[in-house]
Amino acid sequence: MRILELPCTLQNDMTLERVVACVLIVEPSIDGADLTFSAQLDNESQTGSPESGEFLDCVSWEASGWALSLGTEDGDALSQRLKCLNIESSPYPISYSRSGLELLLTELERGKALSFHFIVAYKSLPDDRECSTWFAVDVPHEVANKACTRQARDGSVKWHGEA
């Protein structure tokens, strides 16, 4: 698992406090493995609302003068990028909860390395362009993975363990 600051360029003078990406790389040790990845806001008093888009599954929160969005690739993006997952014949791989997102991958092949991501963006409110956090988490996997690889090469990525 790699966690990094993700450079973000938004249009129309949109602003953010911070964008962080978590890139997960897995290589199952057995055939037929089922894996679940979850990204949650650890605050039971806050309830997020789903805000999906094309190739994006996202949950957003607004509270105490802050806006926060948590996003990942949707099932269509995963299906196009990772044909080996056979997503079209499986249950939809992303589920929403009041506190975040869960990614369920089934029937994985042994030794086949795969990568996924979750992205968090937040900013202070009020702001005329409150959708900036949503746009910031709408990042293709190739962009998040490339940023992670580049920062790892530069020595600036924060390593938080291996999955």
Rama region for 44: left / alpha / beta (φ>0; ψ in -120 to 50; rest): alpha
pLDDT classification of 77: cutoffs 50, 70, 90:
very high
Tens-place pLDDT, residues 35-73: 999 999 888 778 889 999 999 999 999 888 899 999 999
Lowest average pLDDT, out of 40-49, 63-72, 95-104, 106-115, goes to: 40-49
Dist. CA 10–CA 136, nearest whole Å? 7
Kindly list the distances between the CA atom of residue 70 and the CA atoms of 40, 106, 140, 155, in Å, as whole numbers in the listed order: 8, 23, 14, 26
Give 128's contacts (C-beta < 8 A, 6+ positions apart): none
Cα dist from 9 to 12, 18, 19, 113, 157, whole Å: 10, 12, 11, 30, 19
Q: What pLDDT shows up at residue 133?
A: 93
d(CA 157, CA 146): 12
Q: Of 8-22, 57-71, 72-86, 145-159, which gets the smallest average pLDDT?
A: 145-159
Q: What is residue 155's predicted lDDT score, i.e. its pLDDT? A: 61
pLDDT in tens, 120-150: 999 988 876 668 999 999 999 999 888 877 7
Over the chain, what is the mean pLDDT?
85
Q: Following CA atoms 79, 60, 148, 109 in sequence, which dihedral angle do they give, to the nearest 10 degrees?
A: -30
pLDDT reading at 162 higher than 50 = no
Q: Which residue has 């079209």 as its token pair?
A: 88
Specify the 3-state DSSP secondary structure of 138: coil
